[in-house]
Structure 1
Amino acid sequence: MGAVKAKRMPRAVREQQMLDAAVETFGQRGYMAASMDEIAELAGVSKPLVYLYLNSKEELFTACIRREAAALVTAVRSGVRTGLPADRQLWDGLLAFFVHTAAYPHAWSVVHLQARTHGETFAAEAAAMREEIVAFVTSLIVVAAREAHRDPDLPEREVAGLAEALVGAAESLATWANTTDGVTARQAATTLMNFAWAGLSNLMDGRNWTPPAA
C-alpha cells in the first residue's frame, strides 16, 4: 500500500504564514535590513515560494502594511460599544488601540515606523490607515469635546484638530510604551485619557479621570 501524501496547506494559510514571518522580520530588523532569505526561513518555506506568492520584497512589505493596518483599525472599532457615555467610548477606543499595539509590537513598527520612512508608496498605505482612525476618533470625541467645552456649537475644525492631536499622541505613546519596560497598555491608555479627557490643567491639579473597573 503506497504512502499517504501529506495534505497540502491551502494557499491562503501559507500566505498568512509568510506575512507573519515578514512582519516579525521587518519589525525587528527594519525594511532595508530584512532579507527574503530570513523571511522564507522563518516561514518554513523556500525563497522562490515567497516570490511566487508575493512577487517582490516591495509587494510583500505592502501586503504586511495593509494587513496590519486593517487589523488595528478593526481592533479599535470593535473595542468601542455604542450607547455608553462619551468618556467610556473614548476610553474603550484608546484601550483597544494600546492593547493591540502592545500585543503586536512588530506590526506597530511596520505600520507606524517602517512604512513612513521607506518611500511614498508605503507611506501612503500608512496614511490611509491613519485617516480612517482619525475619522473614527473624530466621531468619538465630537460629543465629548463639546461637553468638555460646554459649547454645543464647537467648530468642526476644532473637533478635527482635537482628533488629530489625540491620534498623534496615541501613536507616540504606543511607540514609547512598547520600548519602555513595565508600561502596560492600560497604563498608557489611562495616561492619555487623563490628558485628553480631564485636560492638562485638571491633571496638573490632581483631578484625575479614573478608568472603569477591569
Structure 2
Amino acid sequence: MIPVRQGTAFHESTSRPPPMKASSRERRRNQILDIAGEVLAERGYRDTSMLEVARRASASKETLYAWFGDKEGLFKAIIRRNAESVRVVLDGHLEGDAPVNRVLTEFGLA
C-alpha cells in the first residue's frame, strides 16, 4: 500500500484490483483456456509457455500460476473442460432415441 496524506482527496492505494465476481472470474478463466488451447495448437505442448499464454491473454503470469499451478495444470484444465463438454453432448445423445451404435460411431468409438 502507498499511504497518502490524510485530509486530501486521495486515499491509500493498493497495487491489486478488487477481486472479480465469480461469473467474471469464470468467463476470464474460460477465455484464458481458449487462448491456451490456441497456443497449444500452434506450438505444441513443449513449445508453449505460460509467458506466451499470459501475453496473448493480456494476463499476468502470476494469475496463470495462481489459477492453474503450472503449465501441466493449465492443460489439464483444458482437458477437463473439453471432457465435460463431450460428456454433456454424449449424455444428450444417449438420453434420446438414437441407437447406441450410431452414438458410438458419431464419437469415433465404433
TM-score, normalised by the number of residues in structure 2: 0.65
Higher relative contact order, structure no. (Cα contacts within 8 Å, ≥ 6 residues apart)? 1
**Identity in percent:** 32
Structure 1 residue 62 displacement after superposition = 1.1
Partner of 2:53: 39
Cα distance in 1 between the residues matched to 2:74 and 2:95:
34
Structure 1 residue 59 displacement after superposition = 0.9
Deviations 1:82-136 (A, max 9, x none): 345x38x715971xx4xxxxxxxxxxxxxxxxxxxxxxxxxxxxxxxxxxxxxxx
Structure 1 pair 76/28, CA: closer, same or farther in 2 (3 Å)?
Answer: farther
Structure 1 pair 58/92, CA: closer, same or farther in 2 (3 Å)?
Answer: closer
Partner of 1:75: 89
| Higher mean displacement: 6-15 or 20-29 | 6-15
Partner of 1:90: 102
Partner of 2:10: none
Given the alignment of the two structures, is residue 29 of structure 1 paired with residue 43 of structure 2, yes or no? Answer: yes
Given the alignment of the two structures, is residue 64 of structure 1 paired with residue 78 of structure 2, yes or no? Answer: yes
Q: Given that residues 93 and 103 in structure 2 are in contact (C-alpha distance below 8 angstroms), is that contact kept between their aligned partners in structure 1?
A: no
Cα distance in 1 between the residues matched to 2:40 and 2:59:
17
User: Which structure shows the higher helix fraction?
Assistant: 1
Deviating beyond 6 angstroms after TM superposition, the runs of 4 or more aligned structure 1 residues are: none
Structure 1 residue 7 displacement after superposition = 9.3
Structure 1 pair 92/18, CA: closer, same or farther in 2 (3 Å)?
Answer: same
Deviations 1:66-96 (A, max 9, x none): 1111212222222345345x38x715971xx
Q: Structure 1, unaligned stretches of length 5 or more?
A: 98-165, 170-214
Cα distance in 2 between the residues matched to 1:48 and 1:92:
42
Partner of 2:12: none
SS at match of 2:40: helix
RMSD (Å), alpha carbons: 3.3
Structure 1 pair 77/41, CA: closer, same or farther in 2 (3 Å)?
Answer: same
Opposite residue 63 of structure 2, the aligned amino acid is L
Aligned residues: 94
Q: Structure 2, unaligned stretches of length 5 or more?
A: 1-16
TM-score, normalised by the number of residues in structure 1: 0.36
Opposite residue 36 of structure 1, the aligned amino acid is M
